[in-house]
């Protein structure tokens, strides 16, 4: 989405081509075709970025680099690219374009001003093939009012949430709708509820009307802080607008660890009841969890497993704590002499870029204990049932029978119900769901696929890192 927005900010007479290396291969012909190579990336894509830069230089192409990776660590790429566009493109890119027109280009472009994103253009969706994607992305606001120790969002996008006008969001959705997109749309906001009053009085009422008039062509996913559960009206409006999932950074059930990382929004709350409250309103909670805090007690691994199982959070993403550059955590650990490298950005590679208080071996052993105990077939299918019991599907949400759903069901039965080692859990939970919650069968089939994926990823990465 970042490069599609950048594309919309470029001169109208430029000929543009976008290669998303998540879904297609960058060919030499693409590099030869271009006069300039624009690269946007995050930490996890560092090795890919180095390869793209190497290939572009082979053809003597000028490289313009931007996005989180280059904004946070411009010094790492100063001698490898021609121009670095820091911060947000709406404020920094026009400076580059002006100098390009005047023939007076500089190495680095940055702006200290967080741009007014009500002036941000509709991303150029026509540059990609929608058929290659499982979800589309859209953005309502940037910035987060919280200041978690390990997070660099405030560095990148500021602490004051800036929101688009509702008319912009509807125009972007119109664009996707008219291009034939149907399915998941991910609101990729740092914290979707950063401006709750404006959501309730401006965006959501219009979004509800837009979705109803088009017979709910999309289902929405977003990210939000746990205090969403404090606002009954906001949850109700989000569900009516088509939101069915929300990612929440829960991090830890340990109060001392939450206090250590300045996760103030999670403190002094019954996190389990907050998760269940969202589920009962029709929002599936995807949870983020972290181990490796200095204040993590020896029992933290067992407590994490117990919390995840009781919560019914099916998609529980557990990671080792890392300290990204320029965060408060990084600066504190650097003063203590505990930083040992850069973050990889990969939540599955078992790496940590600082010396943990409990020791790496003990941390890794505990981390493996968590993953094995939440994604074993027995534990996983039990957690799926916990979710289905607590989840209330909205009455208006009807799943239309599609060929892809039928194919997914048949393949799931074959892979998990006949071939798989988990078949006893698969069939027992399938029959249980059919008898008690038949409307949630699509959820169950999706969850069975997720579980297989999670176990496969864990085993591949664990053995790769051990060997």
Q: How many angstroms separate the CA atoms of 225 and 91, rounded?
A: 28
Could you report the per-residue pLDDT of 297-313, keeping only the tens digit for each?
Answer: 999 999 999 999 999 99
SS3 105: coil
Distance (Å) of CA 65 to CA 20, 37, 270, 325, 414: 15, 8, 44, 18, 46
Q: What contacts 399, CB < 8 A, 6 or more positions away?
A: 405, 442
Report yes or no on 230 lying in a domain.
yes
377 and 415 together in one domain: no
Q: What contacts 340, CB < 8 A, 6 or more positions away?
A: 353, 354, 355
Where a domain ends, among 367, 390, 413? Answer: 390
pLDDT (0 to 100) of residue 263: 96
Partners of 249 in beta bridges: 288
- Which residue segment(s) compose the domain that 22 sits in? 2-109
Report yes or no on 304 lying in a domain.
yes
Query: Would you say residue 220 has pLDDT above 90?
Result: yes
Contact 190, 157 (CB under 8 A): yes
378 and 279 together in one domain: yes
Partners of 229 in beta bridges: none
Mean pLDDT, to the nearest integer, of 263-288?
96
pLDDT (0 to 100) of residue 458: 80
177 and 88 together in one domain: no
pLDDT (0 to 100) of residue 403: 77
Query: Would you say residue 225 has pLDDT above 80?
Result: yes
Mean pLDDT, to the nearest integer, of 401-414?
83
- CATH number at 69 reads 3.40.50.280
313 and 353 together in one domain: yes
Measuring CA to CA, which residue among 462, 259, 277 is closest to residue 372? 462
Q: How many angstroms separate the CA atoms of 349 and 464, rounded?
A: 9
At residue 467 the predicted structure's pLDDT band, cuts being 50, 70 and 90, is very low
Report yes or no on 15 lying in a domain.
yes
194 and 333 together in one domain: yes
310 and 368 together in one domain: yes
pLDDT (0 to 100) of residue 112: 85
Q: What contacts 25, CB < 8 A, 6 or more positions away?
A: none
pLDDT (0 to 100) of residue 138: 96
Could you report the per-residue pLDDT of 39-57, keeping only the tens digit for each?
Answer: 999 999 999 999 999 999 9
278 and 325 together in one domain: yes
374 and 424 together in one domain: no
pLDDT (0 to 100) of residue 396: 73
Query: Would you say residue 466 has pLDDT above 60?
Result: no
At residue 398 the predicted structure's pLDDT band, cuts being 50, 70 and 90, is low
178 and 205 together in one domain: yes
pLDDT (0 to 100) of residue 462: 64
423 and 274 together in one domain: no
Please name the residue that has the structure tokens 């959070």.
Answer: 313
Report yes or no on 114 lying in a domain.
no
Query: Would you say residue 377 has pLDDT above 60?
Result: yes
Pick 457 or 397 by higher pLDDT: 457
166 and 228 together in one domain: yes
Report yes or no on 128 lying in a domain.
no
Where a domain ends, among 58, 76, 109? Answer: 109
CA geometry: angle at 64 spanning 125 and 79, to 5°? Answer: 150
263 and 304 together in one domain: yes
Report yes or no on 125 lying in a domain.
no
Phi, psi of 186, deg, nearest 5: -100, 115
**Overall number of domains in the chain:** 3
Query: Would you say residue 216 has pLDDT above 90?
Result: yes
Distance (Å) of CA 402 to CA 218, 431, 442: 15, 22, 11
Q: What contacts 246, CB < 8 A, 6 or more positions away?
A: 192, 221, 222, 223, 224, 228, 238, 278, 283, 284, 285, 286
At residue 250 the predicted structure's pLDDT band, cuts being 50, 70 and 90, is very high
The overall average pLDDT reported for the chain is 94
Where a domain ends, among 324, 357, 390? Answer: 390
Angle between helices 232-241 and 204-213 (to 10 degrees): 30
What percent of the chain shows pLDDT beyond 70?
A: 98
Q: How many angstroms separate the CA atoms of 351 and 345, rounded?
A: 9
Q: How many angstroms separate the CA atoms of 241 and 222, rounded?
A: 12
Partners of 64 in beta bridges: 38, 83
Could you report the per-residue pLDDT of 155-208, keeping only the tens digit for each?
Answer: 899 999 999 999 999 999 999 999 999 999 999 998 999 999 999 999 999 999
- CATH number at 222 reads 3.20.20.70
Query: Would you say residue 400 has pLDDT above 70?
Result: no
Angle between helices 300-311 and 360-375 (to 10 degrees): 20
Q: How many angstroms separate the CA atoms of 195 and 165, rounded?
A: 12
Report yes or no on 196 lying in a domain.
yes
Could you report the per-residue pLDDT of 96-137, keeping only the tens digit for each?
Answer: 999 999 999 999 999 989 999 999 999 999 999 999 999 999
What percent of the chain shows pLDDT beyond 90?
A: 88
pLDDT (0 to 100) of residue 221: 97
According to DSSP H, which parts of 338-440 are helical?
A: 360-375, 377-390, 403-412, 423-436
pTM over 0.85: yes
pLDDT (0 to 100) of residue 407: 87
Report yes or no on 122 lying in a domain.
no
Burial 317-350 (b: 16+ CB within 10 A, else e): ebbbbbbbbebbbbeebeeeeebeebbbbebbeb
pLDDT (0 to 100) of residue 180: 96
The answer to which of 189-193, 225-229, 331-335, 390-394 has the lowest mean pLDDT is 390-394
Query: Would you say residue 239 has pLDDT above 90?
Result: yes
């Amino acid at each position: 989405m970042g490069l599609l927005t950048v594309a919309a900010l470029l001169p109208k007479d430029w000929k543009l081509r976008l290669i998303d290396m998540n879904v297609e291969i960058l060919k030499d012909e693409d590099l030869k075709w271009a006069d300039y190579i624009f690269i946007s990336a995050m930490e996890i894509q560092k090795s890919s970025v180095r390869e793209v830069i190497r290939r572009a230089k082979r053809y003597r192409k000028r490289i313009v680099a931007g996005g989180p990776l280059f904004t946070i660590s411009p010094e790492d790429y100063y001698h490898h690219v021609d121009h670095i566009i820091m911060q947000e493109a709406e404020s920094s890119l026009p400076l580059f374009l002006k100098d390009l027109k005047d023939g007076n280009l500089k190495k680095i472009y940055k702006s200290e001003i967080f741009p007014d994103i009500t002036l941000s253009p509709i991303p150029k969706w026509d540059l990609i093939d929608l058929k290659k994607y499982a979800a589309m992305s859209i953005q309502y606001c940037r910035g987060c009012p919280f200041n978690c120790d390990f997070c660099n969002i405030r560095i990148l996008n500021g602490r004051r949430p800036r929101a688009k006008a509702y008319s912009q969001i509807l125009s972007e959705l119109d664009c996707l709708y008219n291009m034939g997109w149907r399915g998941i749309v991910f609101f990729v906001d740092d914290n979707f509820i950063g401006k709750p009053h404006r959501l309730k009085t401006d965006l959501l009422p219009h979004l509800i009307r837009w979705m109803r008039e088009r017979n709910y062509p999309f289902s929405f996913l977003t990210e939000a802080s746990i205090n969403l559960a404090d606002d009954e009206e906001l949850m109700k409006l989000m569900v009516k607008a088509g939101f069915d999932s929300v990612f929440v950074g829960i991090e830890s059930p340990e109060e001392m660890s939450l206090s250590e990382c300045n996760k103030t929004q999670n403190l002094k709350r019954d996190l389990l009841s907050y998760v269940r409250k969202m589920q009962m309103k029709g929002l599936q909670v995807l949870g983020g969890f972290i181990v490796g805090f200095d204040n993590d007690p020896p029992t933290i691994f067992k407590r994490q497993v117990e919390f995840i199982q009781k919560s019914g959070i099916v998609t529980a993403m557990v990671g080792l704590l890392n300290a990204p550059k320029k965060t408060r955590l990084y600066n504190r650990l650097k003063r203590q002499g505990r930083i040992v490298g850069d973050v990889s950005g990969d939540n599955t590679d078992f790496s940590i870029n600082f010396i943990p208080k409990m020791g790496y071996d003990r941390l890794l052993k505990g981390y493996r204990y968590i993953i094995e105990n939440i994604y074993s077939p027995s534990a996983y299918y039990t957690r799926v049932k916990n979710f289905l019991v607590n989840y209330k599907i909205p009455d208006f949400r009807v799943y239309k029978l599609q060929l892809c759903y039928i194919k997914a069901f048949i393949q799931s039965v074959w892979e998990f119900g006949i071939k798989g080692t988990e078949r006893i859990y698969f069939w027992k939970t399938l029959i249980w769901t059919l008898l008690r919650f038949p409307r949630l069968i699509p959820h169950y089939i999706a969850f069975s696929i997720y579980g297989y994926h999670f176990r496969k990823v864990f085993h591949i990465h664990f053995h790769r890192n051990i060997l």
